[in-house]
Amino acid sequence: MDEIKRSIEQTKAGDINAFGVIVTRFQDMALGYALSILHDLQLAQDAAQEAFIAAYLNLDSLRDPQSLPAWLRRIVFTQCTRIRRRKQPASIDPQTVDMEATEAGPEELFESAQQRRIVAAALRSLPERSQEILALFYISGYSYAEVADMLTIPVSTVKKRLHDGRKLMKQRMTEMAELAEEDFQPLRPSRSKKFSTDTVDAIRSALEAMAAGDVARLEQLLQKHPALVESSGFDDTEEGTYFHGAALLHYVAGNPTDHPVPKNAAAATRLLLKYGADPNSMTDVGNNTPLCLVASGRAAREVGVQIELIDILVEAGAEVDASDGLAIYAALIHGETDASRALFKHGARLDLGFAAGLGEIGVMASFVADDGTLKADARRSHSRRPYYERNVEPLRDSPSSDADSSEPPAATDATLPALPRMTDAEILGEALAYAVANQQLEAMRWLLDHGADPNVKPARFHGGQSVLHLVCCNLGQGNVEAAKMLLDAGADADDNDPESTGATPLQWAVHNGQPAPISMLLGCTDSTAAVHVHYAIKCLLENDTKQRTRRLKVVEELLKNGATPAVARGDGRTAADVVETSGDVDLQRLFAPGRPVK
């Protein structure tokens, strides 16, 4: 079992090839057990293949590697039950799952098929537990101890059932005891490498089809492997992240962004829903639904399918307000304003913060009582936690879970210590952050007029940075009017955010490539442009090309505001030295206007 334990650990770490070792080791056992239930070789092969797919997708729920045989047996049984309901065979691969070709002639093939039919008919006539034992022992070729592990019964019981089974077979089929192994062994998938290869390939193909937007291939795979659409946990490299435990439908969101969104993501989404994908399935960490990930991620928006995906998911039954409005909350704190508005159109309820993020001044005003205080429903959920505080341990139902398990449950919003109720000032401050993140200037003005603190650091909004910091990050997009409004209201331009990044709003603007507020911020602080130019050059040279234009503009703004090529850093190298040796033509032009580029 040491090799199997290593293979389990490697598979959980993301090595899909390691799973092939598990398939090779247990494929005969799985097929034998499936055949004892279904009495049909083709269906048994299908059940075994689907069982290994389901096992791969849910391997992180296996707590004890020693219990793998019994755990796999339960999965095989589940797949057999599903196949019985479908009542139609479905091969594993569009090619074939037949064993490797032989040179046998038509007569030999006919005799072999006839012999298998006789054996299968005799086997079906036996009691269920005798069928199970004979199929496992003879098809799989495992020892008494290995069969006992899979069936979770004593070895003595295995021997007794085998004895009884053989005795019954003798009564129904002449010389069955001598023919049994000879007849059963040709069915073993271990006679060919194709079975284990196809299982691993099916999993990989599903993920590749999703990434490539190959809807036809995806449908082909779903037809052959119905378990794919119902399972979760495809990528164990996401352990502990908000994407851990995601199902196929979560992948259409491209959130996180290392899972690409194809242009035909809408077609893939409809297909998954057609085959039974649950639009309200949640990840293990953070309770993220597909709707939540689509609405809060930029990838779907950048491809131009975000709103369409939201419409499709809602029409399919996605709950817009699940988990206290988690979808619109996540969309607004990430500045996905259009997605948030689409959710509002579909019935998402607003509180003061959500309304501020959408710029709905009339709705905002409705949360103010006649005496000027906020009404009780001004914030929908006082217990809602930001992403960085949400549960970090997965909680799932497992085939190997025991009712008396001593393993502690995962932390959820319901089990974490209760958060204190927010004061009116805190609610106003959080609403101001929503307005800033979504560049709702009128909502900002309304909130400041109603007492929102321009130096507020909402504890439950992006880690506690000030709202002026938010203006200078990628959310606020360096909105000059927003920065001016906050500064005029008394925002501190020198706030160095000691509890988070330790950076001032100006440093954030440089770091995030936001040139617009730089001149204004320099005019409000004792800092000089020269202090920041080296870091701005470093950011330009190290970041991707998507941000290049903005970052060049940041360097240009610093030069306009007093930075010079002669400014030196700690090692004595000047900005001009760094630019000259960088080979960056655009930077060289900035630092030497009119001079020929070397």
Per-residue pLDDT reduced to its tens digit, 350-361? 999 999 999 999
pLDDT of residue 153: 80
Average the pLDDT over 255-281 and give the result: 89
Residues 106-159 have pLDDT tens digits of 344 334 444 555 555 566 666 767 777 766 665 555 566 777 777 778 877 777
pLDDT of residue 330: 92
pLDDT of residue 409: 35
Question: How far is residue 52's CA from residue 351's CA, in Å, rounded to a whole number?
Answer: 46
Find all residues with CB under 8 Å of 587, minimum gap 6, and list them. 537, 540, 541, 552, 555, 579
3-state secondary structure of 247: strand
> 2-95+103-196: which CATH architecture?
Orthogonal Bundle (1.10)
Provide φ and ψ at 504, rounded to 5°.
-80, 165
Specify whether the CB–CB gap between 275 and 247 falls below 8 A: no
pLDDT of residue 198: 64
Question: How far is residue 246's CA from residue 271's CA, in Å, rounded to a whole number?
Answer: 17
Give the residues across from 232 on adjacent strands: 247
Residues 186-206 have pLDDT tens digits of 555 554 555 556 656 776 787
Average the pLDDT over 393-417 and give the result: 35
Question: How far is residue 329's CA from residue 333's CA, in Å, rounded to a whole number?
Answer: 6
Residue with the bigger pLDDT between 87 and 61: it is: 61
Count Cα neighbours of 340 within 13 Å in the Cβ-side half-sphere: 28
User: Between vectors from CA 315 to CA 311 and to CA 319, what angle results, nearest 5°?
Assistant: 95
Above 90 in pLDDT, residue 597?
no
pLDDT of residue 315: 96
Question: How far is residue 466's CA from residue 429's CA, in Å, rounded to a whole number?
Answer: 10
Q: Each residue of 250-267: b (16+ CB within 10 Å) or e?
A: bbbbbbeeebebbebbbb
3-state secondary structure of 188: coil
pLDDT of residue 374: 96
Please state, in angstroms and as integers, the Cα–Cα distance from residue 313 to each residue in 211, 240, 250, 350, following that order: 19, 26, 11, 20
Question: How far is residue 473's CA from residue 482's CA, in Å, rounded to a whole number?
Answer: 12
Above 50 in pLDDT, residue 103?
no
Nearest to 349 by CA among 369, 379, 375: 379
**pLDDT band of 397, cuts 50, 70, 90:** very low
Provide φ and ψ at 374, rounded to 5°.
-85, 145
User: Between vectors from CA 482 to CA 481 and to CA 485, what angle results, nearest 5°?
Assistant: 85
3-state secondary structure of 175: coil
pLDDT of residue 102: 38
Least confident span in 347-351, 372-376, 394-398, 462-466? 394-398
Average the pLDDT over 21-28 and give the result: 84
Above 70 in pLDDT, residue 593?
no
Residues 421-444 have pLDDT tens digits of 789 999 999 999 999 999 999 999
Nearest to 398 by CA among 143, 40, 67: 67
pLDDT of residue 105: 43
- 77-86, 122-131, 321-330, 397-406 — which one is most confidently predicted on average? 321-330
Average the pLDDT over 264-284 and give the result: 91
Nearest to 397 by CA among 561, 586, 188, 245: 245
pLDDT of residue 340: 98
pLDDT of residue 64: 85
List the end-to-end C-alpha distance of the chain, in Å, as a whole number: 65
| Residue 343, both tokens | 């959710």
Handedness of CA 581, 587, 589, 590 (dihedral sign): negative
Q: Percent of the chain, pLDDT > 90?
A: 40
Question: How far is residue 504's CA from residue 526's CA, in Å, rounded to a whole number?
Answer: 12
Question: Given this chain, do its domains 2-95+103-196 and 452-591 carry the same CATH topology?
Answer: no
CATH topology of domain 452-591: 1.25.40
Specify whether the CB–CB gap between 295 and 310 falls below 8 A: yes
Specify whether the CB–CB gap between 235 and 206 falls below 8 A: no
Task: Tell me the angle at which helices 215-224 and 194-212 cross, rounded to the nearest 10 degrees.
Answer: 140
| Residue 467, both tokens | 């709202």
**pLDDT band of 406, cuts 50, 70, 90:** very low
Provide φ and ψ at 91, rounded to 5°.
-70, 160
- 58-62, 138-142, 286-290, 512-516 — which one is most confidently predicted on average? 512-516
Counting every residue, how long is the chain? 598
Specify whether the CB–CB gap between 215 and 267 falls below 8 A: yes
Question: How far is residue 356's CA from residue 350's CA, in Å, rounded to a whole number?
Answer: 9
**pLDDT band of 94, cuts 50, 70, 90:** very low
Residues 62-89 have pLDDT tens digits of 888 888 888 888 888 888 887 776 544 3
Chain-centroid distance of CA 538 in Å reads: 32
Residue with the bigger pLDDT between 60 and 223: it is: 223
What is this structure's pTM?
0.65
Enter the DSSP assignment of 135. I
Burial of 119 from C-beta contacts in 10 A (0-12 / 13-18 / 19+): buried
pLDDT of residue 190: 53
Residue with the bigger pLDDT between 284 and 467: it is: 467
Question: How far is residue 455's CA from residue 478's CA, in Å, rounded to a whole number?
Answer: 17
pLDDT of residue 390: 40
Specify whether the CB–CB gap between 32 and 46 falls below 8 A: no
pLDDT of residue 142: 57
Above 90 in pLDDT, residue 258?
no
pLDDT of residue 85: 66
Handedness of CA 135, 136, 142, 143 (dihedral sign): negative
| Residue 298, both tokens | 């930029």
Question: How far is residue 514's CA from residue 547's CA, in Å, rounded to a whole number?
Answer: 10
Task: Tell me the angle at which helices 16-38 and 144-151 cross, rounded to the nearest 10 degrees.
Answer: 90
Question: How far is residue 294's CA from residue 307's CA, in Å, rounded to a whole number?
Answer: 9
Domain boundaries, the chain: 2-95+103-196, 452-591
Specify whether the CB–CB gap between 161 and 1 falls below 8 A: no
Count Cα neighbours of 345 within 13 Å in the Cβ-side half-sphere: 12
Give the residues across from 368 on adjacent strands: 374
Residue with the bigger pLDDT between 244 and 189: it is: 244
Above 60 in pLDDT, residue 581?
yes
Q: What is the mean pLDDT of the chain?
A: 78
Task: For residue 391, give the H/E element and its range.
Answer: none
Question: How far is residue 478's CA from residue 259's CA, in Å, rounded to a whole number?
Answer: 28
pLDDT of residue 174: 45
Compute the CA torsion angle 511, 516, 520, 523 (nearest 10 deg).
50
Which residue's structure tokens are 């997605």? 339
Above 90 in pLDDT, residue 389?
no
Give the residues across from 464 on adjacent strands: none
Find all residues with CB under 8 Å of 596, minimum gap 6, and list them. none
pLDDT of residue 118: 52
> 127: how many CB neighbours lie within 10 A of its CB?
12
**pLDDT band of 545, cuts 50, 70, 90:** confident
Above 50 in pLDDT, residue 569?
yes
pLDDT of residue 363: 98
